[in-house]
Structure formats: structure tokens, C-alpha cells
Structure 1
Amino acid sequence: MNTTNFFLEFPLNFSEIRKLNKMYFEHLFKQRVIFTSILILLLLIFSDFININFEDDFFLWLIRSLGIIVFFVVFENSFVDAVSGITFQIAKRLLRFKNLNSRYKFVFTNSKLCIRFPLGRLTHKWTTIEKAILTKNFLFLYIKEQNNYIISISRKDCRKMEELLTFVEQNVIHIIKV
């Protein structure tokens, strides 16, 4: 097998989408909401800083900024949980539509594996794979990162699993067969 031209793309089935939404994408989405809210907080503080009179308002600006930061820290976690919960409840309902399901895909190339989904995409290099376990129905890829993700790939739906298994076995890591 020529590894320089290796490319496979699998659409995800409904159960894989649910597992990945729950375990993987929800965490990523929370990180994006936190990052966005921190940017908004910094924008508020710096826009307020630009409009102050340094002789009279600097101390008031410091107190106002401290109040905004304390308010942000106190309410940020519940805000992030609420936004993520609502978003993934809507996503769960939208999964009924076939058009949206087709936007979830696994993409495998010679240097990386990628998971595409409607909110973006996640890319991992093959070197981050710690273990590959093959069962009767699934291939599990254990990714060693901050959160130690597990990606499960169903062997059903007439996928080109043999090509993927051959590539992983020869070029990435030994597959443990259970």
C-alpha cells in the first residue's frame, strides 16, 4: 500500500455521532464558548479603558473592571454549561435530518485523522494514537492528549475498513484484536 496517497473518508452513523457529541464535541464546544466569553470580557475592559480620563476616572475604572471580572468568574461556568446544554439538545433534535448527518465524517490520510462535524473539525496526528483495539463490531483508537479521547469506528455499513486496518497496522501501531 502506498502511504503517500492514503485517503479514506467514512460518513458517521447515528450511534457514532451520538457518542462523539457526548464525549468529544461537547467538551470542545465548551472550550470555544469559554474562549469567546473571555474575548468579550477583555473587549469590554479595554473599550472601557480607552474611554477613561486618567486624572479622575482611573480608580473608578479599576473598581468597575474588578467588578466585571468577579461577575464573569462567578457566572461564567453556569453560562457555559447552559449554552452547551442548549446547543447539544438542539443538535440532538437536528440529527433526525439526513442532510445534517451527512456532514459528520471521518477522514483518514497518511499523516492525520480528522473528524468533520457541523461546528468545525478536529484533527489528530497518527502519532497521538496510543492504542488501537479491534473488536467484532468496532475499531477503538485511544488518543493520548489532555483528555484521553476514545474514537470508536463501526465496522458496519460496508466501509473500507480493511484498508484502514492495514494502514494502521503497517504504519501507525499494532492493533490489539479482541
Structure 2
Amino acid sequence: MTVKTLPMTDELHAYVVAHGTPPDEIMRDLIEETERSLPASAQMQVAPEQAAFLSLLTKLVGARHVVEIGTFTGLSSLAMARGLVEGGKVVCFDISDEFTSVARRYWERAGVSDRIDLRIGPAAERLRELPTEAHLDLSFIDADKTGYPPTGRSSSRAPGRAG
């Protein structure tokens, strides 16, 4: 088994953006508000093309039970909530009431707040609240990047960039 990542060249990025699903008005507003009101932290937000991919992936696997660790202002959870099957739920773990207060407003505006269960507190502790039997269709871990064990791989991601 090889451990090789595909670099995101300028050409590949341009292709993904040109052929992907652009953010709608709600997502654009969320992205703009995050950049405007949280400029020192805005790089933690997933890129719009990553959000589109998360929505597509959620739809493709027919996800009913999703967990997100690291919600920030809610772009990725909004995208995944839109991709859920009927009756599905995204359980989000985050430590910030400040950042997730932005997320809550946009989830409400997008009509997906009933599909999202936000739990504030350290995910390492709060994950114990989930059922112990296998039940998750998708997990998105996007928090505490400095706490990840080293893999020996180099990353094509810019330092501090979420996603």
C-alpha cells in the first residue's frame, strides 16, 4: 500500500472550481461573514469546493448518521446536512459558543437546523455520548490539527488551512 497524496496544483484547483457546484447565496453569505467578522480565524473554514464535495459525498453514501468534529462557523456541517437522507442527523462537536453562534444562524436560515445536533465541549470527552455500536455513515474530523499524530506524509495544504 502506498501513502501518496494528490497535490492541489493551481490547474487542478481551477478545474475543480470551474466544474464544481458553486456556493449558493446562504453559503456565500456565511463565507463572507466569517471572513469579515473573524479575519484571524477565517482560514479554519473549509473552502467552498470542499463544502460542495462534503455535500456530494454525504449524498453518495446515503448518510443518515454523520459526525463532525470541529464545526467553527458551520459551513461544512451545513453542506453535510443538505446531503443527508430523510431523517438524517449531523452531530457536531465544537468547543466554541462564539464561532458556533454564527453556524446556528445559518443552519436556521438554510432550513437544516433540525438536522444538526450541536454539542459544545471537548470532542475527546463528548464522543463518549455516542452509541458504542457501529452506526456512523460518515465522519468529518476538522479540529485540533496540531494534536494529530505524525503520518510521515507531507501535506499539500497550507499551514492552518482547514479541510
Whether these two folds match at TM > 0.5 is: no
User: Counting strand residues as a fraction of each chain, which structure ranks higher?
Assistant: 1
- Bigger radius of gyration: 1
Length-normalised TM-score, structure 2: 0.24
User: Counting helix residues as a fraction of each chain, which structure ranks higher?
Assistant: 1
